[in-house]
Structure 1
Amino acid sequence: MTPWHWQRSRMSRWRVRATWFVLALVAVLYCVFRFSGPAPLETNLLALLPATEANPVAEKAVDQLANALGDRTVFLVSSRDADRAKAAARRFGATLQASGAFASVTAELPPFDLGQIGALYTPHRFGLLTPADRAALAHSSEGAASLRDALMQRIYNPVRGPLATPLADDPFGWLEHWLSDLPLATSNLDLEDNMLVAHRAELTSVLVVTTLHGSAYESRVQRAVLAAASKAETSLRAAWPDASVARAGAVFYAESARRASEREVHLIGMASACGIALLMLWVFRSPRLLLLGFLSTALGIVGALAVTLAVFGKLHLLTLVFGASLIGEAVDYSIQYFVVYLGAPRDWDAHRGARSVRPALAVALATSLLGYAILAWAPFPALKQIACFAMTGICVAFASVMWLLPAMLPAASRQAPKAAQRRLFERAAVLLVRWQRAIGGRRSWAVALVLAAVCAPGWLQLQSDDDIHLLIQRDPVLVAQENQVRDAVGIDNTAQFFVVQGATQETVLRRAETLGAKLDALPAGQSVDGWRSVTQFVPSARRQSEDRALVAQHVFADPAALRATLSQAGFRDAIALAWIDSFSRAGEQPLTVERWLAAPWSKPFAHLWLGAVATNGQRAYAAIVMPQRVTPHNLPALIELARVTEGVAFVDKAAGVSKLFGEYRVDSGMWLGGALLLVLALVVGRYRLRGGIATTLPVLLAVGVTLAAFGYARVPLNLFNCLALMLVLGVGANYAVFLREGCQRDGADLGAVWTGVLLSAATTLLSFGMLGMSAMPALKSFGVTLTLGILVSVLLAPMGMPAGVPKEGRKHA
């Protein structure tokens, strides 16, 4: 090479290095920028789930309920002594308040004027009747006598509720009855000493409710809440050793999931990196090649992280943990390049070496991209992110091997293999020859038939399980504490409910009333323990008008007789006249949802009203009706009730996701078949029909063996096992491709080629195998399936070697 060409080549290498440095710097700075602000890690487990409802309003209802409960945390302070429990709750609440981690802390309720509730309803009292009062008026046949009896019962009734109304405003008690029927007391808690207290057996529990400064899914909020809660509990145990604290709230689950994912990222990332480093050092005996291999992998991961954050804005937990396992796959491309580098002659050129390995890496990249592309088609946000992350990472790793590594490995730096490496390659060549003779060539189909016969009973024993908990697993300690809180408070979960829609607010209220009547009419075996709806606070305008008309007909039709009845009961004439006149002054204006929502005391129930929603570009309204005590026995009746009631849909998020799991698990069989045909077409285009079939056969058998293993082990298949088989197809096909391409390269050392294939498989197994230890069930399914599938793929890879290679292998050995 002339000095001019040498200088030009050197400048070209520096330009390539500078370009990659700039790109890497931009990606790193972008990631640092995103993580320097609010953490972009998505710890909301519901965000991992797909939209399961055909009705977008139902999805909005799920989100609204999650948001309504997500910014609250609940602590239950318990002791066997009631006074100690209350004192401990006061101390606990004060410590939480002093921490500054919460927007509000409520251990003792502030004085509340119950008259505010009555003040909202009093102007509309003539249109508010309970079902009992409505029936009594409608079936009243005695006129004034009936009214007089009701009036006497009202005057002389010694039992008055907390929402008692003045006789002058409500002489017959209809408003008081209405207020008493309001579902304000929705729990087992009693108000004692301005505290919410539950008594269970010998235990007294006091509720402490807090609200957060921000989202429960922000890392900053989670750390502050956990630190404050831990400090408060430590202080509590020091003062009252017998007191205990149970906690419930989305922030605790989010923090637990984030902490678990970070722990797994560190474990998988460090274990994979260390294992891969040791393997590469043992094979290549070169720290420089090790660093260059990790440089390529690091570029792939940084690029994947930057692109994923730019596209999605958030990084799911599954993506973060799965990304840590991508190290083993991304390093494969550099390993194959280094194998060519070590087996090349002294005058080897780095760029020619990259071109020689490009066909093998391109085919491997295409098959891997195909497997991940199928993940991107699934409707799960987390799987789409994983696909984006992985596809970006392996593309960047491939590009770095093609262009950056040749610029980092000039010809003058190449060294001949060391004696230990030569011995390793020689032994690998001997092993390859013997193994290929056993399973390759004409014996391939016999091996395939034997494996199919062995696997067939396992295929027949395959089972499935599509439970949602395969994706989300909550901390059992937190679940136990949440159940303790629920048992004490006496509330059900809010995962199953009705969504009522209509073109107007009035339509929604009427349909909700119809649904409520049908719920009340359910037979004993299918009944629910009541229900919650906005109509229990705000009846429809039609219902209010009907009630007012009923009162007008049976009470105010004869003002003189009504005045006489009131006077005989002891009402002063001025008061009786004022009440009678108030009926005409009240007018026909009904109580509205807006007026009710404007009242501060309505906030705990505001989630029952979804308000205006957009459906298919049209404005509509929606509300929630929440049944109490949904069981497997009454669930079919509730679903049928929604089906036959206009404008009503039953929402069961967990069941919807599980059903979707099952549908896509079944569909994944067709996806896998289609992907297999695409891989076959890809390799046939490269190796012709016979060579393409031989190259595809190992991974096809690997999929079959993996499925049979699950059948024999009686491990139910889930969607994530089936999707992992796509990756087995995409990644497992690489080994037969690498081996076949190595066999076809001129002057290639087959021992080095086989060593490189085994090393690539080992690094991938090391990374993906770590996923099998994940606490996340979805990733564990991925890990176990990938480990078994990839292991079988690499063991059967010699089936794809071209004919006549054993002799060459012996020669190279």
Structure 2
Amino acid sequence: MSQRALAWLWAALLLVCTALLLTQLRQPDFWDTRITALLPASDQSARLQRADNQLAGAFESQFVLLVGGPQPVAAARDLKQRLQAVGLSADQTDNRPDQQLDAYRYGLLSDELHAADSEQLSARALERLLLPGGSEAVSRDPFGVLDSWLQERFSGPLRLRQGMPGLQHDGQLWVLVSGQLQASPYALEVQQQLHSALAAFHVQWPEAQLLRSGLIFHAAAGATQAQREMSSLGLASVLGLCLLFWLVFRRLRTLALLLVPIACGLLLALPLTGLLFGGVNLLTLVFGVSIIGIAVDYALHLQCQRQLVAEQPEQRFWSALLLGLVTTLVAYLGQLLTPMPGLRQMACFAALGLLGAWLTVRLWLAQWPLSVHPATAAAARRLAPLRLREGQRWPWISLLVLLLLALAAISRLQFSGSLQQLNPSPPQLIAEQQQVQTLLQQPGGSRYLLVSAPDGQALLQRLESLDAPLQQLLAAGELSAYTHTARHLPSLARQQYNRHALRQGYLQALPALRAASGLPERLQQQAVAALDAAPLLTAALWLDSSAGAPDAALWLGAQTEGGWLAIIALGEASPAAISALQQLAIAPDLLYHDRVASLSAQLAHLARSMASWLALAVLLLGLLLCWRLRRAAWRALLPPVGAVVLTLGCLSLVGGIGLFHLLGLLLVLGIGLDAGIFSAQEPDSEATWLAVSLSCASSLLAFGLLAFSATPALHFLGLTCLLGLAFTWALVPFARAERPGFSH
């Protein structure tokens, strides 16, 4: 097929991609704001995976706000109305477990009433009789069974304040506004609704204080940050590239032509990535826009070659350009081997973008008229003296010493599995969430016990048996909180036992109560008859009620492979408590799981795997270049491999490296290969040296700016690229010079 026909075919493909992209942009879920997309696929058991998913699902759909300030109750009511007005489902009715559990109260006996004797029960009934409406209350529930049980089981810090739940802490009243989302917290529309409601609230109540907890706040902060950085860092990168190219080429037409490959690369990568992955993560776009900034390298080499050497480049030039593409794609596509969907999406986006840029240069730019300015040749002449002169040994000795020092530092390198690299939330928001959990005395859900049993009732009984050791840890201050379904839903066996104990209390205490109070003789018969006729509280009834809704996230129920499962959510635990929990989980029906520790270990393992891939990639690329370039292969390998070694040495001095540092090193390897290959092909060419310098400078603008990102993952990647690309450019003069005592 002719060059002209291929050019038209490439134009037709870009038109199809344009139409596809316009269709995708109309889909509300095309943009994905989930940072969890970067997490590795779990290799844990199916039961643990289901438990994690259930806890995560419950956390995703709920949000909590604590309102403080001069008028917290009025402000909280206003905030509640504003959330409902924009379509966010704030709780509209107060949870009244006393009304929902009234019919089942006889099976709900507190520990205090269990331990009470007949005299204490009679005294309790007499106290209730003296209260307003006491005669009716005693006739229905002589000992206040339900009130006593509710006080014991729901004895959290919240109390009703003018009809709103609130708590007092350090002299400040905090009023609770909570709710359930009807849509995904990652949906941009939902996040915008939340932002508008809170902005209007702050205008109306400027002195009000807000403490936020819920995934929607983290998702909204991450999306806002990604959008802000996409515009600020992307704009800075584009402006920097334009200024750089203007200083060298001084032609608007040339400037426009150099940016065409970037646009075409984006046009190919964006819709096809969305098609393959069902959408595009905003972090992928931030990362991808910067990566495709290096797509201009191909145009730079072509432009410098045409202006300074020959208007129609030789086949040798195109071979080098193709070799640069292939080796760079090998470095990028290595990310497809990772089990992290987000990284695979980034790799696909980058590979498609670079392929689109290369095709644009090969099929279009080479055929377009050339525009020349004397400033280009002048820039090449000014850069030429930076090449090392023959016979210079001190630069080589210095380089050898630096490489040896870097290798010594690398020997002490540690891999970090810190989840900080995956958490883009502002520190203030993280602190607020921790404060909300502390004030409400709620478990965080990051660690839990997974309990199994043959059936539902056996599961409830097993949960009840674990209260004693957990209460010991709680009383000792080693465990901040814990909760499970059986804390609020007694097993049927426990309910029957409670009813029997209550019946005995009626028989022993009610005669003395009648004698002391003058209540009718039928009181005892009525109380016993009501007890015998009352239903038992089942798991289905409890979990379907609004009072039992919070327990639904902790109850996995029957499993397809057999058995029943439930979760005991645990709060902050000391090392002694963690040791005790792990010892407790030796039992075959218990499993202790720390989600944060598990993910950290998984990320550290993944970082080691990527380090192995990096070493393998260097080996494979070295063999490929030795086969292709023979004795000149060292020229191609010195900039990328030397830059990787020196960058690792620097990073090892400031702490451990993580997954995104290694990802950045893969990119440094790919970018440095372009510089090395052209230096090996044309070691004495001023055009090549100018193009390589511009390429490194433009890549530094594209990647190095990510070092200023507030998103930890992008910051670590950008910092690595900033160091690595600077080292790459500094090593190119060595690759273009003769080694002392050698010839090329």
Same-fold call, TM cutoff 0.5: yes
Question: What do the CA deviations read for 1:46-90 (whole angstroms, capped 9, x no partner)?
Answer: 34323456134334433433432434443333235xxx4333433
Matched, 1:268 2:258: no
What residue in structure 2 maps to residue 139 of structure 1? Answer: none
Which segment is superposed worse, 193-202 or 263-272?
Answer: 193-202
What residue in structure 2 maps to residue 236 of structure 1? Answer: 205
Q: Aligned pair in 2 of structure 1 residues 77, 691: CA closer, same or farther (>3 Å)? A: same
> In structure 2, what is the Cα distance between the partners aligned to 1:717 and 1:113?
51
Which segment is superposed worse, 465-474 or 512-521?
Answer: 512-521
Contact 2:482 2:571 in 1 (8 A): yes
Counterpart mapping for 1:7-18 below 5 A: 13=4, 15-18=5-8
> In structure 2, what is the Cα distance between the partners aligned to 1:313 and 1:679?
33
What residue in structure 1 maps to residue 285 of structure 2? Answer: 320
> In structure 2, what is the Cα distance between the partners aligned to 1:799 and 1:113?
77
Which one of the candidate residues 586, 602, 606 is aligned to 2:552?
606
What residue in structure 2 maps to residue 734 of structure 1? Answer: 674
What residue in structure 2 maps to residue 254 of structure 1? Answer: 219
Matched, 1:397 2:357: yes
SS in 1 for 2:553: helix
> In structure 1, what is the Cα distance between the partners aligned to 2:15 and 2:133?
67
Contact 1:92 1:236 in 2 (8 A): no
Q: Is there any run of 5+ residues in structure 1 with no aligned partner, and where?
A: 1-7, 137-145, 744-748
What residue in structure 2 maps to residue 3 of structure 1? Answer: none
Matched, 1:469 2:420: yes
Question: What do the CA deviations read for 1:114-164 (whole angstroms, capped 9, x no partner)?
Answer: 332222x24xx35x554566678xxxxxxxxx6x54653453344999999
Contact 2:450 2:568 in 1 (8 A): yes
Tell me the CA shift for residue 592 of structure 1. Answer: 2.4
What amino acid is the match of 2:261? Answer: S
Which one of the candidate residues 9, 16, 26 is aligned to 1:26?
16
SS in 1 for 2:637: helix
SS in 2 for 1:191: strand
Which one of the candidate residues 102, 105, 129 is aligned to 1:118?
102
Which segment is superposed worse, 780-789 or 20-29?
Answer: 20-29
What residue in structure 2 maps to residue 156 of structure 1? Answer: 126
What amino acid is the match of 1:398? Answer: W
CA RMSD of aligned residues (A): 3.9
TM-score (norm 1): 0.81
What amino acid is the match of 1:653? Answer: R
Contact 2:636 2:678 in 1 (8 A): no
What residue in structure 1 maps to residue 30 of structure 2? Answer: 40
Question: What do the CA deviations read for 1:536-584 (whole angstroms, capped 9, x no partner)?
Answer: 2223345456666x659x949xx99999899878775655445555666
Q: Aligned pair in 2 of structure 1 residues 456, 245: CA closer, same or farther (>3 Å)? A: closer
What amino acid is the match of 1:606? Answer: A
Question: What do the CA deviations read for 1:676-700 (whole angstroms, capped 9, x no partner)?
Answer: 1111111122123x43344323322
Contact 2:450 2:566 in 1 (8 A): yes
Matched, 1:708 2:649: yes
Contact 1:372 1:727 in 2 (8 A): yes
Q: Is there any run of 5+ residues in structure 2 with no aligned partner, and where?
A: none
Q: Aligned pair in 2 of structure 1 residues 680, 542: CA closer, same or farther (>3 Å)? A: farther
Matched, 1:775 2:710: yes
Contact 1:151 1:172 in 2 (8 A): yes
Contact 1:725 1:786 in 2 (8 A): yes
Q: Aligned pair in 2 of structure 1 residues 514, 489: CA closer, same or farther (>3 Å)? A: closer
Matched, 1:422 2:377: yes
What residue in structure 2 maps to residue 227 of structure 1? Answer: 196
Tell me the CA shift for residue 251 of structure 1. Answer: 2.6
Which one of the candidate residues 559, 569, 577 is aligned to 1:634?
577
What residue in structure 1 maps to residue 168 of structure 2? Answer: 199
> In structure 1, what is the Cα distance between the partners aligned to 2:584 and 2:485?
19
What residue in structure 2 maps to residue 49 of structure 1? Answer: 39
Tell me the CA shift for residue 783 of structure 1. Answer: 1.0
TM-score (norm 2): 0.88
What amino acid is the match of 1:191? Answer: L
SS in 1 for 2:89: strand
Q: Aligned pair in 2 of structure 1 residues 18, 64: CA closer, same or farther (>3 Å)? A: same
Tell me the CA shift for residue 254 of structure 1. Answer: 1.9
Counterpart mapping for 1:64-75 below 5 A: 64-75=54-65
Counterpart mapping for 1:422-571 below 5 A: 422-432=377-387, 434=388, 438=392, 449-456=400-407, 458-459=409-410, 462=413, 465-483=416-434, 485-486=436-437, 488-502=439-453, 504-522=455-473, 527-544=478-495, 555=504
> In structure 2, what is the Cα distance between the partners aligned to 1:306 and 1:579?
71
Tell me the CA shift for residue 772 of structure 1. Answer: 0.8
Matched, 1:594 2:556: no
Contact 2:707 2:716 in 1 (8 A): yes
> In structure 2, what is the Cα distance between the partners aligned to 1:216 and 1:638?
33
Q: Aligned pair in 2 of structure 1 residues 163, 392: CA closer, same or farther (>3 Å)? A: farther
> In structure 2, what is the Cα distance between the partners aligned to 1:490 and 1:379?
36
> In structure 1, what is the Cα distance between the partners aligned to 2:131 and 2:480?
23
Question: What do the CA deviations read for 1:414-458 (whole angstroms, capped 9, x no partner)?
Answer: 46x5444334334444543x357647xxx9975653333343554
Q: Aligned pair in 2 of structure 1 residues 444, 369: CA closer, same or farther (>3 Å)? A: farther
> In structure 2, what is the Cα distance between the partners aligned to 1:765 and 1:269?
13
> In structure 1, what is the Cα distance between the partners aligned to 2:275 and 2:132?
56
Question: What do the CA deviations read for 1:200-255 (whole angstroms, capped 9, x no partner)?
Answer: 34433322334445322211121122112111221223xxxx54444443333222
Tell me the CA shift for residue 378 of structure 1. Answer: 2.7
Contact 2:129 2:137 in 1 (8 A): no
Q: Aligned pair in 2 of structure 1 residues 133, 727: CA closer, same or farther (>3 Å)? A: same
Q: Which has the larger radius of gyration?
A: 1
Matched, 1:754 2:689: yes
Which segment is superposed worse, 630-639 or 265-274?
Answer: 630-639
Q: Aligned pair in 2 of structure 1 residues 111, 505: CA closer, same or farther (>3 Å)? A: closer
Q: Aligned pair in 2 of structure 1 residues 626, 500: CA closer, same or farther (>3 Å)? A: same
Which one of the candidate residues 650, 661, 666 is aligned to 2:592?
650
Q: Aligned pair in 2 of structure 1 residues 790, 88: CA closer, same or farther (>3 Å)? A: closer
What residue in structure 1 maps to residue 152 of structure 2? Answer: 181
Q: Aligned pair in 2 of structure 1 residues 489, 545: CA closer, same or farther (>3 Å)? A: closer
Contact 1:436 1:799 in 2 (8 A): no
Identity %: 29
What amino acid is the match of 2:577? Answer: N
> In structure 1, what is the Cα distance between the partners aligned to 2:390 and 2:225?
44
> In structure 2, what is the Cα distance between the partners aligned to 1:678 and 1:546?
72
Contact 2:90 2:177 in 1 (8 A): no
> In structure 1, what is the Cα distance between the partners aligned to 2:63 and 2:298?
49
> In structure 1, what is the Cα distance between the partners aligned to 2:168 and 2:370?
79
What residue in structure 1 maps to residue 321 of structure 2? Answer: 361
> In structure 2, what is the Cα distance between the partners aligned to 1:414 and 1:800?
30
What residue in structure 1 maps to residue 660 of structure 2? Answer: 720
Contact 1:331 1:760 in 2 (8 A): yes
> In structure 2, what is the Cα distance between the partners aligned to 1:531 and 1:113?
20
Tell me the CA shift for residue 256 of structure 1. Answer: 1.9
Q: Aligned pair in 2 of structure 1 residues 505, 38: CA closer, same or farther (>3 Å)? A: same
Tell me the CA shift for residue 486 of structure 1. Answer: 4.4
